[in-house]
């Protein structure tokens, strides 16, 4: 096979590329014109990007009221704010649940709190990509305060039953933070109908925006103490942080290019329809997995993902080497290693990591065919009797 002349980008689970032309234009416009925003400028013309982005995100995720959507830097920032905010009252001894499926953006804030002696942490196992609701229920104790869980695994592409798990947690008075970094923009989400207390998202993945913007939806803001304080452009005579949303969490000058890009990305998704995006992704992902499984020395770790993520290894080659060959010989951009989710890998591949393909709305069928053929060719040439470790 000949190397593709332009790169085939299959690292969309890390960050999506390309962005829709509307997103690039929105960034340009946001910097070409002065910014309008009540309370922060006397200008009366131009776009109020934060309101545009808030309404677009609230609409896409059925988050109500829109003011309960607050903007941050990314999902990691959102998760830090939410985790620390929900646990602000815990001196010692609050019990927190999480899972082996988590990204380090959940694990590290929680392990740090555990190291400081502020929480007791239980990490729940998964089975066939899913954390079973009964496993969650069995782990709840009278002092369980919070559960933090990914909605979609960035390694296995599995989507968790947050509806059933949320019901169980709420029956026991446990708060529920969901990490939506991999699901927003990829599958339909109705936050109005889900029994969750907070949902964190990031702008640069499935929402097709740019890095540096993310946010969260919070059902009951009073439950969460802010961890940052500063100017909001409102109630400036008060020396205390406003209690109201979204100012409670939105402090300092906003990321206008990021917000403009996010609004444009979300509007682009809405114009296609998340259902159509999910359908195309499902078809292409099933194609990939079917093709890779034709080689007996390829291990696919997720045979039925709900998200467009494929994790695999080729026996006889390190995943880094497969990534290197894909890039150098075929012009395919993938991701290799632990994908910032070390506990998943301990469970599925002994901690060695995997090659990951992540697809986006812009991935073409031709690119899928080319990449699947490339991996099969690499596998056919691998000496599977050799242990590369």
Q: Among 154, 285, 302, 360, which residue sits at the site for ligand PLP (rule: CB under 6 A)?
A: 154
* Residue 74 within binding range of ligand PLP, rule CB under 6 A: yes
* Binding map of ligand PLP across residues 301-340, x = CB under 6 A, - = no contact: ---------------------------------------x
Q: Among 150, 158, 160, 284, which residue sits at the site for ligand PLP (rule: CB under 6 A)?
A: 150
Q: How far is the CB of 22 from ligand PLP (least distance, A)?
A: 21
* Residue 75 within binding range of ligand PLP, rule CB under 6 A: yes
Q: How far is the CB of 34 from ligand PLP (least distance, A)?
A: 29
166 vs 209 by CB, closer to ligand PLP? 209
Nearest to 27 by CA among 51, 9, 49: 49
Q: How far is the CB of 77 from ligand PLP (least distance, A)?
A: 7
Residues 6+ away with beta carbon under 8 Å from 76 = 105, 202, 214
37 vs 214 by CB, closer to ligand PLP? 214
By rule CB under 6 A, what count of residues binds ligand PLP? Answer: 14
* Residue 206 within binding range of ligand PLP, rule CB under 6 A: no
Distance CA 140, CA 94 (A): 12
Residues 6+ away with beta carbon under 8 Å from 82 = 148, 177, 198, 200, 216, 218, 224
Residues 6+ away with beta carbon under 8 Å from 328 = none
* Residue 255 within binding range of ligand PLP, rule CB under 6 A: no
198 vs 298 by CB, closer to ligand PLP? 198
Sheet order of strands, 94-99 included: 69-72, 214-218, 198-202, 175-179, 144-150, 94-99, 119-124
Q: Among 76, 285, 302, 319, which residue sits at the site for ligand PLP (rule: CB under 6 A)?
A: 76
* Residue 100 within binding range of ligand PLP, rule CB under 6 A: no
Half-sphere exposure of 6 (CA within 13 A, CB side): 4
Q: Among 99, 105, 241, 313, which residue sits at the site for ligand PLP (rule: CB under 6 A)?
A: 105
135 vs 340 by CB, closer to ligand PLP? 340
Q: Among 19, 103, 145, 254, which residue sits at the site for ligand PLP (rule: CB under 6 A)?
A: 103
Q: Are 179 and 148 in contact (CB under 8 A)?
A: yes
99 vs 241 by CB, closer to ligand PLP? 99
Half-sphere exposure of 342 (CA within 13 A, CB side): 5
- Give the residue ranges of DSSP H helices in the chain: 21-32, 49-61, 75-86, 104-115, 133-139, 162-171, 256-272, 274-292, 319-330, 342-349, 365-381
Of 341-380, which residues contact ligand PLP (CB under 6 A)?
A: none
Distance CA 371, CA 3 (A): 10
| β-bridge mates for residue 216, sequence order | 70, 200
Q: How far is the CB of 20 from ligand PLP (least distance, A)?
A: 19
Distance CA 117, CA 90 (A): 10
* Residue 181 within binding range of ligand PLP, rule CB under 6 A: yes
Instruction: For helices 49-61 and 256-272, give the axis angle rounded to 10 degrees.
Output: 30
* Binding map of ligand PLP across residues 16-55, x = CB under 6 A, - = no contact: ----------------------------------------
Please classify residue 21 by burial: count the beta carbons closer than 10 Å to its beta carbon, then call 0-12 exposed, 13-18 middle and 19+ buried: exposed
Q: How far is the CB of 48 from ligand PLP (least distance, A)?
A: 24
Q: Are 125 and 152 in contact (CB under 8 A)?
A: no
* Residue 269 within binding range of ligand PLP, rule CB under 6 A: no
Q: Are 12 and 360 in contact (CB under 8 A)?
A: yes
274 vs 338 by CB, closer to ligand PLP? 338
CA-angle at 61, arms to 122 and 172, nearest 5° = 35
76 vs 360 by CB, closer to ligand PLP? 76
**Interface ranges with ligand PLP (CB under 6 A):** 14, 74-76, 103, 105, 150, 154, 179, 181-182, 202, 214, 340
């Amino acid at each position: 096979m000949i190397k593709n002349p332009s790169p085939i980008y299959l690292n969309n689970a890390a960050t999506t590329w390309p962005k829709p032309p509307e997103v690039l234009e929105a960034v340009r416009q946001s910097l070409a014109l002065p910014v309008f925003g009540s309370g922060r400028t006397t200008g009366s013309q131009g776009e109020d990007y934060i309101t545009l982005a808030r309404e677009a995100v609230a609409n896409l995720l059925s988050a109500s009221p829109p003011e309960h959507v607050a903007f941050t830097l990314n999902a990691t920032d959102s998760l830090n704010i939410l985790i620390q905010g929900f646990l602000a009252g815990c001196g010692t001894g609050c019990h927190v649940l999480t899972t082996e499926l988590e990204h380090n953006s959940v694990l590290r804030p929680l392990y740090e709190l555990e190291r400081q002696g502020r929480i007791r942490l239980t990490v729940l196992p998964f089975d066939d990509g899913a954390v079973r609701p009964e496993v969650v229920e069995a782990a709840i104790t009278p002092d369980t305060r919070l559960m933090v869980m990914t909605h979609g695994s960035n390694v296995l592409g599995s989507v968790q039953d947050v509806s059933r798990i949320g019901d169980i947690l709420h029956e026991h008075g446990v708060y529920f933070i969901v990490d939506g970094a991999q699901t927003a923009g990829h599958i339909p989400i109705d936050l109005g109908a889900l029994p969750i207390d907070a949902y964190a998202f990031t702008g640069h993945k499935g929402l097709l925006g740019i890095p540096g913007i993310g946010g969260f939806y919070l059902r009951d803001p009073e439950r969460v103490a802010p961890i940052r304080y500063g100017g909001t452009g409102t109630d400036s005579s008060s020396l205390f942080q406003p209690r109201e949303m979204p100012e409670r969490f939105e402090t300092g000058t906003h990321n206008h290019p990021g917000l403009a890009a996010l609004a444009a990305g979300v509007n682009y998704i809405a114009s296609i329809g998340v259902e159509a995006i999910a359908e195309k992704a499902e078809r292409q992902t099933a194609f990939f997995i079917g093709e890779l499984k034709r080689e007996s020395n390829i291990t696919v770790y997720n045979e039925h993902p709900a998200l467009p993520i494929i994790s695999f290894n080729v026996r006889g080659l390190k995943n880094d080497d497969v990534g290197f060959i894909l890039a150098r010989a075929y012009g395919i951009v993938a991701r290799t290693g632990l994908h910032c989710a070390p506990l998943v890998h301990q469970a599925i591949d002994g901690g060695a990591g995997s090659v990951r393909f992540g697809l986006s709305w812009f991935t073409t069928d031709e690119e899928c065919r080319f990449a699947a053929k490339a991996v099969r060719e690499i596998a056919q040439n691998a000496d599977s009797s050799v242990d590369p470790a």
